[in-house]
Chain A
Amino acid sequence: MTTNEKLYLFWRKTKNNAMLLFSLACLLIAVTPLVLIFSYTLIQGFSALNIDFFIQMPKPVGETGGGMANALVGTGILIGLGALFGLPVGIMAGIYLAEYGDNPLAATVRFLADVLSGIPSIVVGVVAYIIVVLPMKHFSALAGGVALAILMIPTVTRTTEEMIRLVPQSYREAGLAIGIPRWKTTLRIILPTALKGITTGILLAIARAAGETAPLLFTALGNRFWSTAIDQPIGSLTVFIYDYSKAPFEDWIRQAWGAAFMLITLIFLLSVIFRIVTRSRYEEH
C-alpha cells in the first residue's frame, strides 16, 4: 500500500466515523426533551399522588388536599365518546379508501383527511361548539366527545387504509376464490390480518385526543363536580391541568403536576393494554 492509499483509507474512515458521531449527537438532541419532560413530570407529579388524589373530589378554593376523581372519570368518558363516534367512521372510511378507493372521490377524501389531521385542534373545538353546543344551548360531554372524534377520524382513516393496503392481495383472492363475498372477505379476513397496525393508529389517535385541551375548553368546558351525564359539562385531566397550573396556590400546582403524570401513565397503560388485547393468537416466533 502506498502512502497515498493509506492516507485515502484513513480519510475515508474518518469521514465514516464523523458521520456516525454526527447522527448520534442528533439522536441525543432529539431524545433529550423527551427524557426531560418525562422525568420532570415524574419527579414533580409523583409527590402529588396518593389515594385521595384518585378518589377525592377537588376541594373548595383555599382548602388543601382533595383529588381529581371527576377529571379522571371525565377523561375516560370523553375518550370513550370520541372513540365511539370516531373509530367506526375512521375505520370504515379507511376500508373504503383501501378497498374501493380508486376514484376521484377517494383521492379527495384522502387529501382532506391529511389536511384535517394537521388542523389546529382549537378549530375543531369551534366546529364542535357550533354543531353541538349551540343547538343544545349548553356545554356537554357529548360536545367534547364529538370534538375528539373529529380529531381522531383522519388519523384512524389513514392508518387503517395504509395497513389494509399492506395485506397481500393473495389473501383477498384466497377469500374470494372460495366464494366468500367481498364485504365478508374484507371484514373477516383482511381486517383481522391488518388489525395490529390499525390498533397502533387507533392508539395514536386516542393518545392525541386524550392530551387535547383546547377543543374541550368550549365543548366539555370542565366541571369541578362529579358528573357522568353526557349532556352536562364534564371535567377532564387536561382542563384540570390547565386550570390548576395557572392557579396561585402551591397545592394546586402540585396537583396539576400529578394530573400530568396521570395523563402520561394513562396513555402508557392504554398502549400496553391495546397491544396485549390485539396480539395475534398466532404470534410469529
Chain B
Amino acid sequence: MIRKALFTFVCLALLAACAPSATPAPAPSATPLPPDPSIVLSDGLGRSVSLPGPAASVVSLAPSNTEILFAVGAGAQVVGRDLFSDYPAEALAVQDIGGSMGEYDLEAIVALQPDLVLAQAGGFNSPELIAALEGLGLTVYALPNPSTLEEMYANLETVGTLTGHVQEATDLVAALQARLAAVDAAIAPLSARPSVYYELDASNPAAPYTAGSGSFVDQLIARAGGFNIGSQLESQWAAISVEQLLVADPMIILLGDAAYGETPEKVAARPGWETLAAVQSGRVYAFDDNLVSRPGPRLVDGLEALVRLLHPGLLP
C-alpha cells in the first residue's frame, strides 16, 4: 500500500517536473548593456575557455592554425608559431617555438607572454601539453579537428572571434562557400568520375599509404568529381597492397608524397606499375599535400587544384 502511494507520488512529481513552467521568461531589459568584450567559447576538448577580450598576441601550435590566423587577418597578432608553420611566407618571420615530435619550447612560449595559445585538438597537440600550458598560467584554446568543410568554416569563425576579426572571418567563409558552389555547379552535369589513387607515402612501395574514407583527401576527390580508390579503406591513413592497386587500375595518380621526392618517373619505374592506365596515359601528377592535409582555408584551394587535374579545362 505504502509502495503504491509512493509510486503515485513519484509519477505526479515527474509529471509536474515535465509540465511547462508557468513563470514567464524575464523580459529583455530596456536599456541595452554596454557590449561586453569578454569571450567565452567551448573548445575541441570540451573545455570552456574565456578571454577578457580579443587576443592581441597569439602563439600557434599547428600549421593549420597559423594559416587560419593569417587568413582571417590576425597575422600581425601571431607572435610565435610551430616549426611546421611555413605558410603564408610571412609566417616564417615569426618566432619558431618548436614542435618536432610534439615537443614545444615551453620556456619560449612563456617568455612571449601571449594572450592566447591556439592549439589543435584531435591528436596534434596532446592533452598533457595543453594542461602544462594552462598550468603555466596561459590561456589555451584547442581548435576542434574538423572532419568536414563546414566544421572547418566554423573554426575560421571561432578564430575570428578569438582574435577580434569577426567580419573578416565571415567574409572569408562566404568567399570560400562561393568558390565551393562554383565547383559544385561545374561538376554536377558531369557523368564521368575518373578513378584516383592518392599516394601519401611510398616508403614501402609494396604497400604504399593512401587516403582512406573519412579523410579530407577522400571527401575532396569525391567533391572534385572523382572516385578515390582508397575510399573502400577504413582508416584515414591506410596501407593499400599493390595487388589491390593493380586491380583497381586508377586513371589518375596523385603524388601527395612529391615533397619527399616521389616523381612520375619513379612511379613508372616501380615494378608492375607500368601496366597502370594512369602511367600509360601519363596522368601521374605531383600534388601539394599541404593543400589537403591541413584543415584550414586552403582546403578549397586543394579542391580547385584537384578539379583542374581531374577535369582539365572545366574551371577557368
Q: Do A and B come from one complex?
A: no
A residues near B (Cβ < 8 Å) are none
